[in-house]
Structures are given as C-alpha cells and as structure tokens.
Amino acid sequence: MKAFIVEKYKKNGALRRADAAEPVVGVNDVLIEIKATAVNLLDSKVRDGEFKLILPYKPPFILGHDLAGTVLAVGRDVRGFKVGDEVYARPRDHRVGTFAERIATHESDVALKPKNLNWTEAASIPLVGLTAWQALVELGRVGKGHKVFIQAGSGGVGTFAIQLAKHLGATVATTTSAKNAELVKSLGADVVIDYKTQDFESVLSRYDLVLHSQDQKTLEKSLRVLKPGGHLISISGPPDPAFAKAQGLNGFLKLVFTLLSRGARKAARKLGVRYDFLFMRADGRQLAEIAALIESGVIKPVVDKVFPFEQTGDALAYVETGRARGKVVIEVQ
C-alpha cells in the first residue's frame, strides 16, 4: 500500500511517499480503508522528534493521527464492528499511521462515523474532538454558568472546544486575529480578544477554566485570569508528574517532567488554582458520544483546506504556518 513515511527524526524533514507493508490485523483489530485523514501540529512535532522520549517511534514509520474510512476486515474477537461499516478514529499512541491507504487499529479506538458528515469532515474530528472532550468534560467538568477561556479559537482544537463549551452551558472567551473574529463568534464565543492588539489579562478575570495551548509566557498570564479554585488545563505543556505517572514513564523522565513543570505548578499553587497537563488518548466510546452531538447539530466541523493524498507533505507544511482556520484534511481515496 502507499503511505507517507518519516525516514528519520528531523526538524521540517520531508515525508517520503513509499510502498509500505500491509497492516497486520490482530484479534481485537479492525482493518480500515482510509478515505480521509487530517493533519495536526502533533504530526510535525512527532516528525521533528519532540516527543521521542515519550513516543519512541523507530524510523522509518508512517505518520498520521486521524482517519475516516470503511471497515475491510475484523479480527476474530471483534464484536462492535462489521465489514462495510463507515467509521472514524484516532488510533492509539504507538499504533498511529493514518497517512496511508489502510490501517489496522484496536476496535476500542473506533466509532461509527457521524452519519451527516462526509469523509473529509469526519476525518477532521477525532484528535481535536477527543482533546476538547477530555479537557472540558472529563477533566474540567465544565457546566452551566462556568466561564471558560479557550486560547487560539480559530484553530483545530479551538473551533471544536468553543462549540462544546457552549453546549455544556459555559460563557466562552477566546483569542484570535481580527480576520477570524466572525468565525469564532459564529461558533459561540461570547468574548473575542484580538491577540495582536489586546492583552487578554486586562480583559478577563475570575474565570473557572482555561484551555491553554500556547507558550510559557501565555501560561503564566492565563493562571492570573482564573478565580481562586480555578483550573488551567494545558495541551502544550509543560508535562507534569501526574502525566509521567499515568504514562508509566521511568524515574529519569518523571524527574525531568517534575522539573519542567515546577514553575507552572508553583505559580498555580501561589494563586490558589490548579494546573494539569493533558495528553489526549484514543477513546472510541467518547468518539461515539461526539458523533451523537454532531448528528444532532450541536457541533459542526470546521475545515480550512483539503489536499489530495499526493500532497500530504504540502498539507503538513501548511499546518505549520499556523494560518489554518479549523482543520486541514487529506483525501486518501
């Protein structure tokens, strides 16, 4: 099968289109013909080697974390899916590789595709949808009357998280550029801050939750807009000891992440707020709940550009510019 491969860890390294071995289908796996995949900043960070301490993929490996497609075969013990099912998924870590024509993935990572979405729309959802769900529903427990600050509202996670937070009953603030202000307002943002001309710290105060996706300086400012007892959830780091423990990392990495996050955790304690690092995980059951929200019209996908499979490298380069509104998708079939 055709696939796009990382031959070696290298910053801004080119992906190579190659013939790859057919996936091996385990007893709990579903074999999926990939119709579309999506590009995430995580893909470039994995290729660059930024995550090789915690996601030690051995080159050469196939990149890609999102998919929508059709089930071609099922393993002996699979009960939830059958051949012909239209599905979507974010394969679990250490089994990624959706920049390819086919993939075998554990059935618990898979859900039926939302019926009202086409392939490209469905492929745009899994990683960002699960990230927002695990931040706002599972970890943040956002509810009616909460005030939530979602950074980078016009990005992939931001466009989904704004809609989900509004559905949960929150008042939502976000940052974006002036040209994307109408987009985030249409998604439900109540307070829109132009990050080029405004300082969000001077506008926001006493927020219940911040979904942080930016740099360390922005993290420090974000902690100060929370009310006492508030909660900052970071998807951009620094990783904390709780993450190291949950991942079962060795003592050296636990120490590294303890030191890396010490400043953020200390600042949070001083302000009487909570800091957590979130590294989203695959979860087919959560994707099924997300599909129900999409089918009911609560959440709509936001797709910026669609590239053909042959231009996967160009799609990754476009995402790295930081200019995408919503998601960038690749048509595989």
2-124+301-331: CATH homologous superfamily?
A: Medium-chain alcohol dehydrogenases, catalytic domain (3.90.180.10)
Mean pLDDT of the chain: 97
What CATH number does the domain located at 127-277 have?
Answer: 3.40.50.720
User: Residue 208 — pLDDT band, cuts 50, 70, 90?
Assistant: very high
How high is the pLDDT of residue 92? 98
Which pLDDT tens digit goes with each residue over 18-43?
999 999 999 999 999 999 999 999 99
2-124+301-331 and 127-277 share one fold: no
pLDDT above 90: residue 215: yes
Q: In this predicted model, what pLDDT tens digit does every residue of 103-141 receive, in sequence order?
A: 999 999 999 999 999 999 999 999 999 999 999 999 999
CA distance 163 to 171: 11
Residue range 277-290: average pLDDT? 98
List alpha helices for the chain, DSSP H: 41-48, 119-123, 126-133, 156-167, 181-187, 200-203, 216-223, 241-247, 251-271, 284-295, 312-320
Name the residue ranges covered by the structural domains of the chain.
2-124+301-331, 127-277
Read off the tokens for 81.
């899916």
- The rounded distance, in Å, linking the Cα atoms of 290 and 114 is 9
Q: State the pLDDT at residue 53.
A: 87
Nearest residue to 178 via CA among 203, 205, 153, 213 = 153
